[in-house]
Amino acid sequence: MGLIVQKFGGSSVADADRIRNVARIITETYRRGHKVVAVLSAQGDTTDDLIAKAAEINPNASKREMDMLLSTGEQISCSLCAMAIEAMGYPVISLTGWQAGFRTNSAYGDARIKRVDVERVLTELDKNTIVIVTGFQGINKYDDITTLGRGGSDTSAVALAAVLQADLCQIFTDVDGVYTADPRHVTGARMLEEITYDEMLELATLGAQVLHNRSVEMAKRYGVNLEVLSSFSGKPGTKVKEGAKTMEKLHVSGVACDKNVARLAVVGLPDEPGIAFKIFSLMAKENVNVDIILQSIGRHNTKDISFTVGKQDMERAKQALEARKEALGFDHVDVNDAIAKVSIVGAGMIHNPGVAAKMFEALYNAAINIHMIATSEIKISVLVDLSEADRAAQVIHDRFFHEVGVQ
C-alpha cells in the first residue's frame, strides 16, 4: 500500500473529542495498510492565546522569542494526539519540526524551508510506526526554533509529502472541500470535485482560506497529489491536480473575495519616464507587496498612479511615499481602505471570450461600481466598495453558477 501524509488544522484538534476523532481517521488509514505521517496545527485558538500572553509580558517581544513560544502550540496537539493513538493500541511517535528534519532560514516568524532531512521519519515508518509531526515550525543554522508564518502547517505537510514522495497529501479542514465561493457568505456555493493547481493557487492568493498559497505553489512544483476534505463529514473532498477533468466544462471554477485590501492613489505625478520605477522600487525597499496597478493617461504634464496593498502595509506605504514627496514631485496621496477585491478564477477563461463581459454585466445589473480592474490568463479581479463586497461575490456567482454545470 501507499504512503499518505495527513494534515489536520486547528479546528480539527480543538478539544479532546476532536483529537480522538483525528486519531480515529489516522488509525483507519493505517489499518488499510498505508504508512501514515500526520501533521498537526495548534489546537483551536491556542496561537492567538499565546500571542495574548506574550503581549501581557512584552508587547514588543523579539520574533525569535515569539517563535519559541508559538511553537509550543503544535507540540501540545501532537503529543495529545499521539497519546490518543497509544490508548487505541497502535504504534505511534510524535516529532517536533526539527526532529522531523525541517531546516529553515532565519526569518523568524515567517521562515522559508531550505530542506527536509527525513531520515528520522523514514526510520520510524520502517518500523511501521505512525508518525505525528508538528506543523508550522523548523530549526535554523543556529539551532533556533523558527515558525513558517501563516498557513505554515499546510506548507509543512506538502513539504513532507514531496520529500517522502507520498502517494497523497490530505488536508483536513472544517469544510468539505474547495467551493465555488465561500459558503458562509455566498448562497448556492457548491463543492468542486477537482481543481487545477493554478486555479487553486489563484483562489488561495485572492482570499480563499482553504489552502495557503505557499503550500499550493510547492505542491505544483513537486507534483504532490492534494486532497482537501473535512475531518468531520467523512465524505470525499476536492482533488487538486495538474489537469482537472472538469476544466473544459467550467469556464470559471470559483469566486473569491479579499477584504484585506487598501488602495493608494499618488496624484499629480510628473508625466515623465522613470516615475513608476521610482514608486515601486520604493515599495519593494519597504517590503510592501503591490497587487493591482492603474496609471492614468497623462494630462497637462501630470499623471496619477493607483495601486493596492494589504491593509497591514497601508500606513507604511503612505509614510514612505510622503517622505519622498519632494523627490517624486506629486501633489498628494489618497488612501482608501473601505474597499474589497472580488475575483473570478478559471483555467477555461482564456479560450472563452465574453467571460469578463458576463462578470461586468452582473455588477452593472446590481448597480455595483467598479473602481479598478486587473486580469490575467485565468483570473479577473475588480475593486468594489467594502460594503458591497459580499453582494458583488453573490451576484457574480449567480451569473456563472446559476445552473449546476452550466455557464
The arithmetic mean of pLDDT across residues 275-304, rounded, is 92
pLDDT at 150: 79
Residue 350 vs residue 16, higher pLDDT:
16
> Which of the residue ranges 180-189, 240-249, 388-397 has the most confident prediction, judged by mean pLDDT?
388-397
CB 313 within 8 A of CB 289: yes
Task: Compute CA distances 151 → 99, 227, 259, 303, whole Å.
Answer: 20, 16, 18, 39
pLDDT at 247: 41
Give the C-alpha separation, 400 to 295, whole Å: 30
Give the C-alpha separation, 345 to 46, whole Å: 33
Dihedral in degrees, nearest 10, Cα atoms 241, 246, 251, 256: -50
Name which of 357, 339, 338 is nearest 396 in CA terms: 357
The arithmetic mean of pLDDT across residues 82-90, rounded, is 98
Average pLDDT, the chain: 92
Q: Which residues pair with 7 in a beta bridge?
A: 39, 171
pLDDT band at 185 (very low <50, low <70, confident <90, very high): confident
Give the C-alpha separation, 291 to 280, whole Å: 11
Does pLDDT of 403 surpass 50? no
pLDDT at 244: 56
pLDDT band at 332 (very low <50, low <70, confident <90, very high): very high
pLDDT at 250: 57
Q: Which fold has domain 3-174?
A: Carbamate kinase (3.40.1160)
Residue 406 vs residue 319, higher pLDDT:
319
Per DSSP, helices labelled H in 265-383 are: 275-285, 314-323, 325-328, 355-365
Cell numbers given for 112: 522559508
Is residue 80 helix, strand or coil?
A: helix
How confident is the model over 145-172, as pLDDT tens digits? Answer: 999 987 899 999 999 999 999 999 999 9
SS (H, E, C) 97-150: CCCCCEEECCCCCCCCEEEECCHHHHHHHHCCCEEEEECCEEECCCCCEEECCC
Residue partners of 290: CB distance under 8 A and separation at least 6: 280, 283, 307, 308, 309
Domain boundaries along the sequence of the chain? 3-174
pLDDT at 347: 80
Is residue 259 helix, strand or coil?
A: strand
Handedness of CA 182, 186, 187, 192 (dihedral sign): negative
Share of residues in the chain with pLDDT > 70 (%): 96
How confident is the model over 94-140, as pLDDT tens digits? Answer: 999 999 999 999 999 999 999 999 999 999 999 999 999 999 999 99
Cell numbers given for 374: 486587473
pLDDT band at 240 (very low <50, low <70, confident <90, very high): very high
Residue 52 vs residue 185, higher pLDDT:
52
Per DSSP, helices labelled H in 223-313 are: 275-285
Residue partners of 82: CB distance under 8 A and separation at least 6: 92, 93, 94, 132
Give the C-alpha separation, 305 to 349, whole Å: 28
CB 316 within 8 A of CB 288: yes
pLDDT band at 19 (very low <50, low <70, confident <90, very high): very high
Does pLDDT of 2 surpass 90? yes
The arithmetic mean of pLDDT across residues 255-269, rounded, is 95
Half-sphere CA count of 53, side-chain side, radius 13 A: 12
